[in-house]
């Protein structure tokens, strides 16, 4: 006997069942998309916050101190330039508490340098003869600071463009004593330092050639050719098939006025690989057009 | 009740094997023609096989109807499981030999030697998978004697395939497989069947979506389709009587089809 009411109820249940998987799938997708969206929003906001915080709080003081100490040495040769001392002092006051924190990365970087080949690492250190204490204690003069400002002004655009090149702060202090503590500038530089130090740390932990190549490229971009050479060399030691690291090593040598060494390096590499890029670079170095 | 628009279509889809209800579809007519051609050939045995509900019985019935005007054709819709009963029925129907005494296989062969036909008598055996192996062996021997030609239908299952292999692999010269209909064929089947009963308006109520749904529910099986549509028109009939406002005379809603599928057991709630 036909019972249409019962059939209708059964049909309703059937439709409900047939829609459940679709609804469940849709809900799952919506939830997943929301989670993903929130995750990205969080990550973006946190990264923005962290960078902002580092810009405002951590960076200025240590850099200024370091730069002060460094600039002392170079003060005699430097030319005076007008400095925005009020700004610098204000920022310094704000950042006093976090000075130690900022200094730590530089120490790590020094430690990391211990892993570098002696040739490349020791020479800059010997030249500068900088110690941790010296970095902290050495005061800066107004002349130095003025000089620093001028230099920063020149470098600024490069650094602002390449925010990832941060490791330089310590490197800058250790290697090139020219850079002086200017508040605006130091903020950017320190941020780069922290990041590149992280990369260096990661590299020493996992010996990933991608990281060392990255560091080499960054140092080269920041005109820290010795460090660029060191890291390119480390990359080559780990994996001799990475052409880019050979090229950076050669370019760095060339920039360090070691053209003969660069040419011999490239020649050997070209003999082994017949690389077109290396050949072109060799030509450039020979022509002096690099 | 008699005035109901859906009472007649409901009867159309009653699952009854009647040659008058034979619906000519492209694939079916092709198969039917090849079956007719096979019968004319000097073959000892013809096998018609396919899944239940693919139209084997209908095709056999149609063949019987068409050929019986020209030659001696016997059709057994239900299997005669007992061998003596089978041979006695065969003697009676083919040779018009009536006797109360038992007829064994030897006696039947002797009898068959006394009769000559211009065209070899054709015996159509439906549901042959129900015959015993021993009887199937006798049928095979009879067909070998060329006194009687057999057309048998088998359900295509694993078991029946084995029977076919064992008994007929070397004897059957022609085997024809019937398959379920395609979606397009099923729509034509439904509409033709309705139009044959002059239900043109009802035939137009089925669109492609409906036939697609019906095909998905019945897998193109004619028997299942008949069952589903019978239930469908039963439900529509009920609505027409009790809730006429819910009846859409322009097209069949998928809800009604699904309700019919629930009623027929094709889907479960």
Alpha-carbon distance A15 to nearest alpha carbon in chain B (angstroms): 8
Kindly state whether A19 is in contact with chain B, defined as any CB-CB distance less than 8 angstroms.
Answer: no
Please say which residue of A206, A239, A262 terminates a domain.
A206
Residues A68 and A118 in one domain: yes
Residue B242 with chain A: CB contacts under 8 Å: 4
How far is residue A97 from each of residues A57, A66, A91, A93, B72, measured CA to CA in Å? 9, 15, 11, 8, 115
Domain count, chain A: 3
Using the 3D structure, point to which of B116, B148, B178 is the last residue of a domain: B178
ipTM associated with this complex = 0.76
Residue A32, chain B, CB below 8 Å: the answer is no
Domain identity same for B95 and B129 = yes
Residue B48's DSSP bridge partners are B153, B176
* Co-location of B40 and B148 in the same domain: yes
Is the residue at B244 inside a domain?
yes
Q: Is A17 on the interface with B (CB under 8 A)?
A: yes
Are A250 and A284 members of one domain? yes
Asked if residue B43 and residue B106 are part of one domain, the reply reads yes
- Angle between helix A60-74 and helix A99-113 axes, rounded to 10 deg: 60
Range of the domain at B171: 26-178
Among B143, B19, B139, B121, residue whose Cα is nearest residue B73: B121
CB proximity A22 to B under 8 Å: no
Yes or no, beta carbons of A11 and B268 under 8 Å apart? no
Q: How far is B259 from chain A (nearest CA, A)?
A: 6
Give tens-digit pLDDT for A180-221: 444 444 444 445 666 778 788 888 878 888 888 988 998 898
Q: In this structure, is residue B1 part of a structural domain? A: no
Domain C-terminal end among B178, B208, B238: B178
In terms of C-beta density within 10 A (0-12 exposed, 13-18 middle, 19 or more buried), how is residue B259 classed? buried
The answer, for A8 touching chain B at a CB cutoff of 8 Å, is yes
Contact residues on chain A for B263, CB-CB shorter than 8 A: 2, 7
Question: Per-residue pLDDT for chain A (290 aa), expressed as one digit of tens each?
Answer: 788 999 999 999 999 888 899 999 999 999 999 999 999 998 887 776 665 555 544 444 444 444 444 444 444 444 444 445 555 555 555 555 444 544 444 555 545 554 454 444 444 444 444 444 444 444 443 344 333 444 443 444 333 333 333 444 444 334 434 444 444 444 444 456 667 787 888 888 788 888 889 889 988 988 889 899 999 989 988 888 888 899 999 999 988 888 888 898 888 888 888 888 888 888 888 888 87
- State whether A150 and A75 are in the same domain: yes
| Same domain membership, residue B187 and residue B120 | no
Residues B116 and B206 in one domain: no
Q: What residues of A are in contact with residue B217 (Cβ under 8 Å)?
A: none
Chain B closest-CA separation from residue A21 CA (Å): 15
What is the span of the domain harbouring residue A254? Answer: 226-290
B97 and B73, same structural domain?
yes
In a domain, A218, yes or no: no
Give a yes or no: residue B240 inside a domain: yes
Domain shared by A160 and A276, yes or no: no
Shared-domain flag, residues B67 and B169: yes
Closest chain A residue to the Cα of B241, Cα to Cα: A4
CA dist., res. A210 & res. A220, Å (int): 15
Give the domain-ending residue among B128, B154, B178: B178
- From A144, A176, A206, give the residue that closes a domain: A206
Q: Are residues A148 and A257 in the same domain?
A: no
Q: How close does chain B come to A3, measured CA to CA in Å?
A: 9
Model confidence pLDDT, tens digit, residues A44-83: 877 766 655 555 444 444 444 444 444 444 444 444 444 4
């Amino acid at each position: 006997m036909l019972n249409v009411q019962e059939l209708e109820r059964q049909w309703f249940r059937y439709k409900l069942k047939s829609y459940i998987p679709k609804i469940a799938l849709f809900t799952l997708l919506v939830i997943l998309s929301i989670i993903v969206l929130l995750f990205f929003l969080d990550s973006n906001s946190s990264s923005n916050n962290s960078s902002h915080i580092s810009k405002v709080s951590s960076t200025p003081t240590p850099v200024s101190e370091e730069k002060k100490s460094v600039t002392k040495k170079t003060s005699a040769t430097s030319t005076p330039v007008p400095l925005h001392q009020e700004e610098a002092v204000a920022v310094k006051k704000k950042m006093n508490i976090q000075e130690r924190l900022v200094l730590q990365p530089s120490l790590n970087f020094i430690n990391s340098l211990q892993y570098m080949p002696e040739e490349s690492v020791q020479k800059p250190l010997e030249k500068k003869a900088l110690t941790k204490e010296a970095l902290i204690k050495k005061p800066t003069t107004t002349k130095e600071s003025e000089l620093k400002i001028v230099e920063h002004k020149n470098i600024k655009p490069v650094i602002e463009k390449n925010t990832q090149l941060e490791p330089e702060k310590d490197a800058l202090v250790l290697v090139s004593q020219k850079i002086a503590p200017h508040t605006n500038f130091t903020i950017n530089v320190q941020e780069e330092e922290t990041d590149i130090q992280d990369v260096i740390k990661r590299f020493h932990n996992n010996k990933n050639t991608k990281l060392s190549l990255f560091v080499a490229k960054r140092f080269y971009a920041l005109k820290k050719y010795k460090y660029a050479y060191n890291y390119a060399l480390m990359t080559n030691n780990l994996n001799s098939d990475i052409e880019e690291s050979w090229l950076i090593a050669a370019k760095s040598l060339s920039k360090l006025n070691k053209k003969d060494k660069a040419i011999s390096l490239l020649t050997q590499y070209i003999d082994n690989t017949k690389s077109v890029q290396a050949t072109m670079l060799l030509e450039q170095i020979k022509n002096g057009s690099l | 009740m008699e005035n109901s628009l859906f009472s007649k279509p409901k009867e159309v889809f009653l699952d009854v094997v009647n040659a008058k209800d034979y619906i000519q579809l492209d694939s079916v007519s092709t198969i039917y023609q090849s079956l007719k051609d096979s019968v004319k050939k000097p073959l000892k045995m013809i096998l018609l096989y396919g899944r239940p509900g693919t139209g084997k019985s209908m095709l056999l019935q149609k063949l019987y109807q068409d050929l019986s005007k020209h030659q001696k054709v016997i059709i057994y819709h239900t299997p005669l499981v007992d061998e003596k009963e089978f041979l006695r029925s065969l003697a009676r129907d083919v040779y018009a030999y009536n006797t109360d005494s038992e007829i064994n296989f030897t006696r039947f062969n002797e009898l068959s030697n006394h009769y000559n036909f211009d065209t070899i008598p054709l015996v159509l055996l439906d549901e042959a998978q129900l015959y015993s192996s021993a009887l199937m062996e006798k049928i095979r021997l009879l067909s070998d004697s060329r006194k009687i030609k057999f057309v048998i239908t088998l359900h295509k299952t694993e078991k029946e395939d084995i029977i076919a292999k064992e008994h007929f692999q070397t004897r059957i010269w022609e085997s024809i497989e019937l398959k379920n209909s395609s979606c397009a064929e099923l729509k034509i089947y439904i509409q033709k069947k309705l139009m044959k009963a002059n239900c043109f308006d009802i035939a137009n109520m089925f669109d492609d979506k409906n036939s697609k749904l019906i095909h998905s529910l019945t897998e193109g099986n004619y028997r299942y389709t008949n069952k589903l549509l019978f239930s469908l028109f039963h439900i529509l009939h009920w609505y027409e009587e009790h809730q006429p406002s819910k009846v859409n005379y322009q097209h069949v809603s998928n809800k009604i089809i699904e309700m019919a599928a629930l009623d027929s057991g094709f889907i479960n709630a």
